[in-house]
């Protein structure tokens, strides 16, 4: 056991260290301990040696037992192999025999089967041929009938459609002729009316223009005459015109 000792140096720094116990340093005790340890170690070594020796022995015995078992097993296997080989050989022989027999029977069966099939096929073919011939005849007959009926119906339909088309065309043609005639009549009437209206308008416009021109001419004559005469008439002429106006008014009975 050690103790912790604290010492202060000249610089007043504290130093810590362990102090060895007194009994450790005792030589007798130390030697005793060493001897004890050696003894214990020796015992341990001996025990260990015995232990490992036993282990090695057990392993050897086990190996030997295993070898024996393997040899026994190998012997059993060899015997079994031999027996099996013998069995296989027998089986092979038997199978070869069976195969040989079966090949013979297969050839016969095949021939017989082919024969039967051939017979059946021929019979069926003949029957089908007969059936097909009958069916073909029947079908041909029905087809001919159907074709005739179809052609007849088609002829009738074609004739009907042709008649209808012709009637429709004739009706449409007549309708169009009527419409065209009616339209032509209306157009002619409208055109004549328009023409008459235009002629009347043109004539009216022409007459109006002529009247306007005449009015303009007369207006010019009037203005020129009044201006020229008004300026050229002397006092005596004015006086005579007033007297003439009065005479005319009197003649018209204005003063009565």
Partner 1 sequence: MQTSRDISEILKQIRTQEDAGAFSEGADILAEGLYHRDPLAVREKLRRRLPQRIYLLLEEEADKFLDRKDPEGLRAFISSLHKAIEGLRALRLELGFEPTGETIDHISSWVKREIGPDIILDFGRDLSIRAGARIIFRGRFVEKSLGVMIASWIERDKEKIKESLRHAVTVRNQ
> Among residues 40, 104, 161, 241, which is the contact residue for partner 1, using CB under 8 A?
241
Nearer to partner 1, 23 or 255 (CB): 255
Q: Contacts with partner 1: how many residues (CB under 8 A)?
A: 28
Nearer to partner 1, 160 or 239 (CB): 239
Nearer to partner 1, 14 or 251 (CB): 251
Nearer to partner 1, 133 or 214 (CB): 214
SS3 at position 4: strand
CA 125 to chain centre: 52
According to DSSP, the residues that pair with 14 across neighbouring strands are 8
State the minimum distance, in angstroms, from the CB of residue 188 to partner 1. 39
Q: What does the DSSP assignment read for 126-150?
A: HHHHHHHHHHHHHHHHHHHHHHHHH
Q: How far is CA 97 from CA 104, 172, 213, in A?
A: 11, 100, 149
Identify which range of 7-15, 24-32, 75-83, 229-237 contacts partner 1 by CB under 8 A. Answer: 229-237
Nearer to partner 1, 127 or 238 (CB): 238
CA 41, CA 28: separation in Å to the nearest integer?
20
Identify which range of 19-27, 52-60, 200-208, 221-229 contacts partner 1 by CB under 8 A. Answer: 221-229
Q: How far is CA 191 from CA 155, 186, 198, 201, in A?
A: 51, 8, 10, 14
State the minimum distance, in angstroms, from the CB of residue 207 to partner 1. 14
Q: Is 233 in the site for partner 1 (CB under 8 A)?
A: yes
Phi, psi of 10, deg, nearest 5: -65, -15
- 163-202 footprint of partner 1 as x/- string (CB under 8 A): ----------------------------------------
- The structure tokens 């009938």 sit at 145
Q: Is 220 in the site for partner 1 (CB under 8 A)?
A: no
Q: Is 139 in the site for partner 1 (CB under 8 A)?
A: no
Q: Show the 3-state SS of 23-47.
A: CCCCHHHHHHHHHHHHHHHHHHHHH
Q: Is 27 in the site for partner 1 (CB under 8 A)?
A: no
Q: Is 64 in the site for partner 1 (CB under 8 A)?
A: no
**Beta-carbon count within 10 A of 100 CB:** 9
Q: Is 239 in the site for partner 1 (CB under 8 A)?
A: yes
Q: Is 115 in the site for partner 1 (CB under 8 A)?
A: no
C-beta of residue 18 within 8 angstroms of C-beta of residue 2: yes
Distance between start and end Cα atoms, the chain: 190
Element of type H or E holding 6? strand 3-8
Interface positions, 196-215, toward partner 1 (CB under 8 A):
214
Chain residues in the site for partner 1 (CB under 8 A): 214, 217-218, 221-222, 225-227, 229-230, 233, 235, 237-239, 241-250, 252, 254-255
């Amino acid at each position: 056991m050690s103790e912790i000792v604290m010492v202060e140096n000249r610089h007043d720094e504290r130093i810590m260290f362990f102090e060895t116990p007194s009994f450790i340093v005792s030589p007798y005790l130390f030697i005793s301990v060493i001897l004890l340890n050696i003894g214990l170690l020796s015992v341990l070594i001996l025990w260990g040696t015995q232990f490992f020796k036993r282990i090695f022995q057990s392993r050897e015995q086990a190996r030997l037992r295993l070898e024996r078992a393997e040899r026994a097993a190998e012997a059993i296997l060899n015997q079994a192999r031999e027996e099996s080989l013998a069995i296989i050989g027998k089986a092979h022989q038997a199978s070869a025999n069976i195969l040989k027999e079966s090949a013979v029977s297969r050839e016969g069966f095949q021939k017989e089967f082919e024969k039967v099939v051939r017979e059946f096929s021929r019979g069926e073919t003949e029957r089908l041929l007969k059936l097909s011939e009958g069916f073909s005849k029947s079908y041909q007959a029905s087809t001919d009938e159907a074709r005739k009926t179809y052609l007849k119906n088609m002829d009738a339909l074609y004739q009907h459609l042709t008649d209808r088309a012709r009637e429709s065309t004739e009706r449409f043609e007549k309708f169009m002729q009527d419409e065209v005639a009616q339209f032509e009549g209306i157009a002619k009437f409208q055109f004549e009316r328009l023409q008459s209206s235009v002629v009347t308008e043109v004539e009216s416009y022409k007459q109006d223009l002529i009247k306007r021109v005449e009015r303009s001419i007369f207006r010019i004559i009037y203005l020129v005459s009044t201006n020229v005469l008004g300026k050229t008439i002397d006092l005596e002429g004015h006086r005579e015109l007033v007297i003439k106006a009065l005479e005319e008014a009197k003649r018209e009975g204005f003063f009565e």
